[in-house]
Amino acid sequence: MPLVLSQAEFDKLVSWTDGSRENKDAARQSEYVKRLNEQSSRMTREWPNSLENVNKRNEELRRARVEAAEQANSKFYKKYMRQKRDEQARLMYSARDTIFKNKDAPKMFLRAVIETCVQKERQAQLQFKAERMREEKEQKRRDDDEIIRRAADWHALMATKRRRRFESDKQHQKEILEQAHEVAERNRNEHETELNYQILDNIKANEQMEALSEFERNFNKAEKARILADMKQSKAELDARRAEEHARDQLDDKLIAVLQRSRARTQALRKKTEQDARDEQQRVLELNSKRLQSGESTRAAKEQASLEAAVREKEAIAETRLRKDREKEARFRREKQEVQDKFLADEARRLHEFNTQRQWEMMNRFKNQELYDDFQEKLRQEKARKIKEFREETLRLWKERDEREARERAETRYFYGELAERKLRDADNRLFAHAEELLAEARRHHRPDYALRKALDRYCSLYRLYPMPELSKTVQSHFPDYRPKDCCVPDPGYRPDPPPQPEPEEKESPQPGGKRSGLQPAQDGDKAGPSVVEETVADYKRVGRANGLQRTPAEADLFKLPPIQVIPCETPSCTCPLKK
């Protein structure tokens, strides 16, 4: 956009852009003050009782106190975390043992143990049950006799009630029939009366309907007459308006005709007046001659003067009327010319404004079209950019999704494959060790172990842990190294996890270089540093809080498993894998 500036304002702008406008005296003064400040700072930095040095000594003392407090806190925190780690290990061992014994297979063995304990008392229970059955039968016989007696009394009572009810119903039926006849007669009379009233009401209603119809016909006729009168009046008013408009349209022509007639009448009147004046003059002359002849000259002179005065008056009136008519005609012509000039000026101004507005509209239309084209072009470019970005984003997301799905598929295969099989085998080993412990305990307490062996056989059959049959001879030639694997026995060298033992307390190593807080990185000679504490905290958070299934250390020692002793099964029909 161009700017119009005077020379003085332009010189001001040039002087403002000049870089050498800084005052040299002010620069020297600022350098002097800066040098004084630096010298003062150097002098005060070496004073022992300056505010900066006092604050520095106070800060060093405060940091020493903080480091001592942090060292004490670190020592307490290490001891606390060691105790919590031991306690958490005991709790987790107790919780895992409880969770293991709450599963289906250990519960099945628990039921088998309960069954072995219950078999001792089975005979006494059978005898007690037989005695209870005899007492129940005797009591049932007595109850049946009592029920039969009460049933006979109840049936007799019901028969008496039915007989009495039948008699009362017959009497009630007779009374109801009589009342029904009376009600029917009363209803018939009321119906006839109602019919008569309805006939009268219908007659009155017909009369009222006829009166209403007559009123509607009269009202419609009056309404049609009123509408016709209104239409006639409207037509008359329309004709009057049209006549008035027509009369107004002919007003100019009539005025022109009136002016023409007035001019003609004025000319005729002037000619007539002149003729009358000549005739009157001739008559006066004749009279004067007669008067002279008759000797009445004096009276003739007076009449001549009166006649001349009358003629002059008439001529003055005619001249005045003629002048007014001419002035009126000139005024009409001037007003008509003014109206015509005003109309022409307004029309010219309207045409000028119309042409100017039309030119502006055309220019705006062209400008709007250019702006619209630019806007559409920007929209196309923006759409192409967004499509490209969306394509790139879609490809990136597609690639990320494929990678994520591949990673999740690999994790799923590992979780449901190798890891699941290892966990299932660990569970089977622990269950078999638990079963052997229960069998040993049953033998120590001289309880029958058939239920336990049957439960173990049921578990092996349920989870298909028995070895597969030998391959046929034709197939063995293709698989010479194949041997059926027996999964009903624990893996060689398997031992259950022992209960956790408390860790020995670690001795603190001296910290070289003075005091050090537990938040600082550990030295090479430190045995327990922040990394150990952080790992312990992470493990503590990972295992979660206790759930009420923990045991005390004394209770945990009671559940230490004894050495496993495998004793062959002596039952001939048993298929237990321990028989091998």
**What pLDDT was estimated at residue 262?**
78
Query: Number of structural domains, the chain?
Result: 1
Residues ≥6 apart with Cβ < 8 Å to 543: 88, 92
User: CA-CA distance, 460 to 435, in Å (whole number)?
Assistant: 12
Distance CA 165, CA 289 (A): 165
Q: What does the pLDDT read at residue 385? A: 92
- Tens-place pLDDT, residues 291-334: 666 655 666 677 778 778 888 888 888 888 888 888 888 888 88
Kindly state whether residue 360 falls inside one of the protein's structural domains: yes
Q: By the 8 A CB rule, do 166 and 158 touch? A: no
Using an 8 Å Cβ cutoff, are 318 and 269 in contact? yes
Residues 108-132, mean pLDDT to the nearest whole number? 81
Which string of DSSP letters, residue by residue, matches 365-407? HHHHHHHHHHHHHHHHHHHHHHHHHHHHHHHHHHHHHHHHHHH
Look at residue 281 and tell me if it is in a domain. Answer: yes
Q: What is the mean pLDDT of residues 512-526?
A: 39
pLDDT for position 511? 45
Mean pLDDT check: name the lowest of 23-27, 132-136, 433-437, 536-540. Answer: 536-540
531 — pLDDT class (breaks 50, 70, 90): very low
Top pLDDT among 472 and 352 is at 352
Q: Is 180 helix (H, G, I), strand (E, B) or coil?
A: helix
Alpha helices in 415-488 (DSSP H): 420-444, 450-462, 473-476
Residue 404 is predicted with a pLDDT of 92
Nearest by Cα to 488 from 525, 535, 433: 433
Residue pair 496/433 in contact (Cβ under 8 Å)? The answer is: yes
Whole-number pLDDT of residue 495: 73
State the pLDDT confidence band at 492, using cuts at 50, 70 and 90.
confident
- Model confidence band, residue 4 (pLDDT cutoffs 50, 70, 90): low
Is the residue at 57 inside a domain?
no
pLDDT of residue 362: 82
- Residue 7 within a domain: no
> Per mean pLDDT, which range of 108-122, 246-260, 282-296 is the poorest?
282-296
For the residues 349-357, what does the mean pLDDT come to? 85
Q: Is the pTM of this model over 0.75?
A: no
pLDDT at 10 over 50: yes
Q: Is residue 320 part of a domain?
A: yes
Burial class (CB in 10 A: 0-12, 13-18, 19+), 459: buried
Task: Give the pLDDT confidence score for residue 386 in this predicted structure.
Answer: 93
Domain annotation covers residue 37: no
Contact yes or no for 573/453 (Cβ under 8 A): no
Residue 560: the pLDDT is 43
Do residues 283 and 324 touch, judged by C-beta distance below 8 A? Answer: no
pLDDT at 535 (0 to 100): 40
Instruction: Measure the CA–CA gap between 82 and 67, rounded to whole angstroms.
Output: 22
Q: Is residue 291 assigned to a domain? A: yes
Q: 100 near 435, Cβ under 8 Å?
A: no
pLDDT digits (tens, 9 = 90+) for 223-267: 888 888 888 888 888 888 888 888 877 887 777 878 787 778 888
pLDDT band at 5 (very low <50, low <70, confident <90, very high): low
- End-to-end CA distance of the chain: give it in Å, rounded: 107
pLDDT of residue 438: 85
Q: Which two tokens stand for residue 477?
A: 């030639």
Mean pLDDT across 114-143: 84
The predicted pLDDT at position 499 comes to 67
Question: According to the model, what pLDDT value does residue 90 have?
Answer: 84
Q: Which residue segment(s) compose the domain that 336 sits in? A: 251-413
- Asked whether residue 404 is assigned to any structural domain, the reply reads yes
Distance of CA 337 to the CA centre of its chain: 76
> What is residue 196's predicted lDDT score, i.e. its pLDDT?
87
Residue 391 is predicted with a pLDDT of 92
In this structure, of 207-211, 214-218, 397-401, 511-515, the range with the lowest mean pLDDT score is: 511-515
